[in-house]
């Protein structure tokens, strides 16, 4: 029975897993919920392989008991032969059903396992720390969901079951070949060993060429991506002909490497086919000689020749399927390595709760939203204390470094009272953004303390801490969805009226209303149909609707022109009123009205004060503000 097989690897360099057994064990854990179906898959594979071997064996009695004796008879009795054909057809049909059954059941197992793996990947990704994403390329993470999951899907649905089918066919056919003729079986094994040695030599040579082809392809794709990103620069300096020449050189190299690789690869399959025909011819001649010598009958020769074809094909297919399985297991190892990455550690136990604050200052926790919040602080003596959420932030001798041997912050001490606007200025790498990362507990403070409303920030549960903060980042990110949905991301239960109010506060209402569907306009590709300034206005509105006591603006107006910035200044002042605000800005005109300006240099605070105070000192801030010293 002819069996389909996965695409051949054609001599490509195969990536192998470091610990295949461990990867297989973890994959089996994902397939364990489908153990009943897997049991039927194994039975169906055995049934398919055995049916193929049984049908072929019936050629012997068909030739010896019916065809040869009936040759030359005028009115031969074909009833027995007809019964034999019916039996062969029924066995063949059973084999077809088994093949359909294991393919269909394996599809169920594969889709279920892939669904769970993708769910585990995505769920685990949400639990990873910011440090992980800062140290791993996004493309590397995406390749897990695309390349590695896809190769795993192909392995489970095609390569693995067909490899077991090939193995079952080889074992059953080999056993029947020995039963029919041990001499011819030995001859087949010797010739197959020579075939495999020849195929291996071609595959090794092809693998070298394919490695060079992949390198050349990487250079071409990398150049295309680089030129696509820098197309404006190319056109400004009229370098179209230059980059066309450079691309042609890379493309020509790819052409030659691909030609060499595919020449060897395209030889491989014809070589396998021709060698199998050669095997068939040698077995035919040897069998014919044995038949003439009287030591073998025609039925045995007919059945054995068919077994020869059935034996050589699965051997070639199995080697290709094995390579596909190894590549998929290597991908599975990367998936499991990602799943084994330590999740973000959170030892906080102070939580944020809805509260009602009486006139006498007493605080009561309530299950409904009141607009007032309090920190719920359990103590070792089983008592609870409630601290109203105000937004007081104190940094006490904070020392921090992303790498143990290199500190970014060195002894930072700072106090921000509720409602104050604190501005951080300084050169790139001075530690401005690092401070905001610590306030959000994206990273924990190893030395020193940060207190939030008098509570050590490390004691506050991370999710509750971040609910009390809101950020507007320099790199604005909008999600696929309507404008209203993007603003509501700051507060999922916000009413439409709150959305409109937040947009007006950020001065985004006018341009949103002019969009084709207004607030229902669907944004895709990170809001590609909006200007950078419009995207940041939506991000500001998103922060406004969250209505947090602490607001962090990281270059929030960097992409907004001076005129637009002036228009939203009043709205921003309203947004910041009554809140503790931390502002990071290179445009110093935006921080003049800050209550406290903190000048950072190499992770240290070198100046602190209001705008007028620092100008009078005529030190670093004065140099920055007057342009005597450039921010870099």
Are 519 and 482 in contact by the 8 Å Cβ rule? The answer is: yes
355-373 pLDDT, tens digit per residue, is: 998 888 888 989 888 878 8
Cα 274 to Cα 270: distance, rounded to the nearest angstrom? 6
R_g (Cα) of the chain, nearest Å: 36
Query: Is 45 exposed, middle or buried (CB count within 10 Å of its CB: 0-12, 13-18, 19+)?
Result: buried
- State the pairing for strand pair 550-554/580-584: parallel
Cβ-proximal residues to 301 (8 Å cutoff; 6+ apart), any chain: 284, 287, 288, 290, 291
**Average pLDDT of the residues in 245-255:** 89
Nearest to 146 by CA among 105, 124, 117, 108: 117
What is the torsional sign of CA 503, 505, 510, 511?
Answer: negative
How long a stretch of residues is the chain? 632
Q: Is the Cβ–Cβ distance between 198 and 11 less than 8 Å?
A: no
Average pLDDT, the chain: 83
Reduced to 3 states (helix: H, G, I; strand: E, B; else coil), residue 631 is: coil
Q: What CA dihedral angle connects 479, 483, 487 and 493, to 10 degrees?
A: -100
pLDDT at 571 over 70: no
Pick among 1.20.1560.10, 1.10.1740.10, 3.40.630.30, 3.40.50.720: CATH of 1-180+322-343: 1.20.1560.10
Q: What is the pLDDT of residue 568?
A: 58
Helix count and strand count (H, E) for the chain:
22, 16
**Are 592 and 547 contacting, i.e. CB atoms less than 8 angstroms apart?**
no
Domains in the chain: boundaries: 1-180+322-343, 182-295, 351-388, 393-626
Measured distance CA(85)–CA(261) in Å, rounded: 47
Q: Which of 269-283, 329-343, 568-582, 615-629 reaches the highest mean pLDDT?
A: 329-343
Task: Say if CB 57 and CB 176 are below 8 A apart.
Answer: yes
Q: What is the pLDDT of residues 75-104, one digit of tens each?
A: 777 788 888 889 989 999 999 999 999 889
Q: Bridge-partner residues for 594, per DSSP?
A: none
pLDDT digits (tens, 9 = 90+) for 269-327: 677 667 777 888 888 888 888 888 878 888 888 888 888 877 777 776 776 677 778 77
What pTM was estimated for this model as a whole? 0.75
CATH fold of 393-626, please? Rossmann fold (3.40.50)
Give the residues across from 266 on adjacent strands.
none
**Left (φ > 0), alpha (ψ -120 to 50) or beta: where does 170 sit?**
alpha
Is pLDDT at 119 greater than 80 in this prediction?
A: yes
Contact 49, 31 (CB under 8 A): no
Query: Do 553 and 584 touch, CB atoms closer than 8 A?
Result: yes
């Amino acid at each position: 029975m002819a069996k389909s097989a996965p695409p051949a690897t054609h001599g490509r360099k195969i990536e192998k897993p470091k610990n295949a057994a461990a990867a297989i064990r973890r994959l089996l854990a994902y397939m364990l919920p489908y153990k009943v179906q897997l049991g039927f898959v194994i039975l169906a594979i055995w049934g398919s392989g055995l049916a193929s071997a049984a049908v072929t064996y019936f050629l012997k009695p068909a030739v010896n008991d019916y065809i040869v004796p009936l040759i030359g008879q005028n009115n031969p009795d074909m009833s027995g032969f007809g019964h034999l054909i019916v039996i062969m057809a029924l066995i063949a049909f059973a084999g077809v059903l088994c093949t359909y059954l294991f393919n269909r059941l394996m599809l169920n197992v594969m889709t279920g396992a892939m669904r769970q793996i993708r769910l585990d990947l995505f769920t685990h990704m949400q639990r990873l720390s910011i440090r992980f994403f800062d140290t791993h390329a996004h493309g590397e993470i995406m390749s897990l969901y695309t390349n590695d999951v896809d190769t795993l899907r192909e392995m489970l649905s095609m390569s693995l079951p067909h490899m077991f089918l090939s193995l079952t066919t080889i074992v059953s056919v080999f056993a029947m070949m020995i039963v029919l003729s041990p001499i011819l079986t030995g001859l087949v094994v010797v010739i197959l060993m020579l075939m495999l040695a020849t195929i291996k030599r071609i595959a090794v040579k092809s693998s070298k060429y394919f490695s060079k082809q992949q390198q050349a392809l990487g250079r071409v794709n990398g150049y295309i991506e680089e030129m696509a990103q820098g197309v404006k620069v190319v056109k400004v300096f009229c370098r179209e002909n230059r980059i066309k020449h450079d691309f042609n050189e890379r493309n020509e190299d790819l052409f030659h490497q691909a030609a060499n690789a595919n020449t060897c690869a395209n030889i491989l399959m014809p070589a396998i086919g021709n060698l199998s025909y050669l095997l068939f011819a040698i077995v035919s001649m040897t069998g014919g000689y044995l038949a003439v010598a009287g030591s073998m009958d025609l039925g045995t020769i007919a059945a054995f020749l068919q077994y020869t074809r059935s034996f050589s094909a699965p051997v070639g297919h199995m080697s290709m399927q094995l390579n596909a399985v190894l590549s998929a297991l290597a991908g599975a190892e990367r998936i499991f390595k990602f799943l084994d990455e330590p999740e973000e550690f959170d030892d906080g136990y102070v939580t944020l709760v809805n509260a009602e604050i009486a006139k006498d200052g007493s605080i009561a926790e309530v299950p409904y939203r009141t607009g007032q919040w309090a920190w719920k602080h359990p103590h070792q003596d089983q008592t609870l204390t409630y601290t109203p959420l105000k937004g007081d932030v104190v940094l006490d001798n904070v020392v921090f470094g992303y790498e143990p041997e290199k500190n970014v912050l060195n002894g930072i001490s700072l106090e921000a009272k509720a409602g104050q606007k604190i501005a951080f200025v300084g050169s790139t790498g001075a530690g401005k953004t690092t401070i905001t990362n610590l306030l959000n507990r994206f990273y924990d403070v190893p030395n020193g303390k940060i207190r939030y409303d008098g509570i050590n920030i490390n004691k506050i549960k991370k999710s509750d801490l971040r609910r009390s903060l809101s950020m507007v980042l320099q790199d604005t990110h909008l999600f696929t969805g309507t404008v209203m949905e993007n603003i509501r991301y700051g507060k999922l239960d916000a009413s439409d009226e709150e959305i409109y109010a937040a947009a007006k506060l950020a001065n985004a209402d006018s341009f949103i209303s002019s969009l084709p569907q207004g607030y229902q306009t669907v944004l895709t590709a990170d809001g590609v149909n909006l200007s950078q300034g419009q995207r940041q206005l939506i991000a500001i509105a998103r922060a406004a609707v969250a209505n947090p006591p602490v607001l962090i603006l990281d270059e929030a107006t960097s992409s907004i022109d001076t005129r637009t910035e002036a228009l939203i200044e009043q709205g921003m002042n309203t947004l910041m009123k009554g809140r503790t605000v931390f502002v990071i800005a290179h445009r110093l005109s935006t921080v003049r009205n800050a209550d406290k300006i903190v000048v950072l240099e190499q992770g240290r605070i070198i100046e602190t004060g209001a705008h007028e105070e620092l100008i009078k000192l005529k030190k670093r801030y004065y140099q920055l503000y007057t342009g005597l010293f450039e921010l870099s």
